[in-house]
Amino acid sequence: MIREHLADTIDIHVGGSDLIFPHHENEIAQSEAATGKPLARYWMHNGMVNVGGEKMSKSLGNFTTIRDLLDAPDGPDPMALRLFLLQGHYRKPVDFTTESITAAQNSWHTIQDGLRLGYQFGTKLGWADVDDPAFGDPAAMRIDRDSPAVQAFQTAMDDDFNTAGGLAVLFDVAKELRRAGNLITHTGQADSNPDTLRQQWQTLVCLAQVLGLEAQPEAATESSTGWADADIEALLAQRREARATKNFAEGDRIRDLLQTQGITLIDKLGGITEWHR
């Protein structure tokens, strides 16, 4: 197949680590005897998927597919699952557990918050192009290739696709952006220069795309869940009425209900309650 569709020698040959011997060694012997040329310049063998320390297999009854996992009612976010796989080196085994998926989901929330900063706060920060159709499109962004984040990311990825190292760079940038977003939410302004935040945000968006990690603007998520601003405001009005009559249990119930939908409430002096997604 390689000779028919590609060439006598290809750049990259991939496969599971269980195929190194005898399959790939025999493949090399046969092809190089026939052509007198190397079969592949680089060999990349991925580790196996384990479940709770045991190899995933149909015979053990612990076999699942990504499609089945994502289609489950309580399945993880697709981006969280991608992040879970990227957290380990591709040559190493991956141990699939409920705890590891939950941890990946939490990690994804951090990166997701960073990726959404521009959509949430670009206008407040005075960014001029927030209404541009290309806003948020990595193809329209120009980032500083000599910046510490870009250099660290490239160094990690050049080291045999060290995606875990690349993710560490994304986390550092995302945490800074998340902190800035929290400050804007709670105090009305960030303590960083808007242009600096813009550079950090665009760097995060572009580097995350390399790993296939991306977040939609919250408006898209809002419409898909059905929790429009008017729905949230109506619940807040009910909560204010409940708190005014000292029905704090009802007020807490509404707060917890909103929190399950990713809505955070901020109670301020004077009976004012602000919210953000």
241-256 pLDDT per residue, tens: 999 999 999 998 998 8
Average pLDDT value for the chain? 91
Rounded CA-CA distance 212/216 in Å is 13
For the whole model, what pTM was predicted? 0.78
Percent of the chain whose pLDDT exceeds 90: 67
pLDDT one-digit tens code per residue, 133-156: 999 999 999 999 999 999 999 999
Q: Domain 50-215 is of which CATH architecture?
A: Up-down Bundle (1.20)
pLDDT over threshold 90, residue 100: yes
pLDDT over threshold 70, residue 226: no
Range 120-144 average pLDDT: 94
pLDDT over threshold 70, residue 218: no
129 pLDDT band, cuts 50/70/90, is: very high
Domain boundary assignment for the chain: 1-46, 50-215, 221-276
15 is written with which tokens?
């496969």
pLDDT over threshold 60, residue 225: no
Please state which of the ranges 55-69, 79-93, 142-156, 182-196 shows the lowest mean pLDDT. 55-69
Range 3-21 average pLDDT: 96
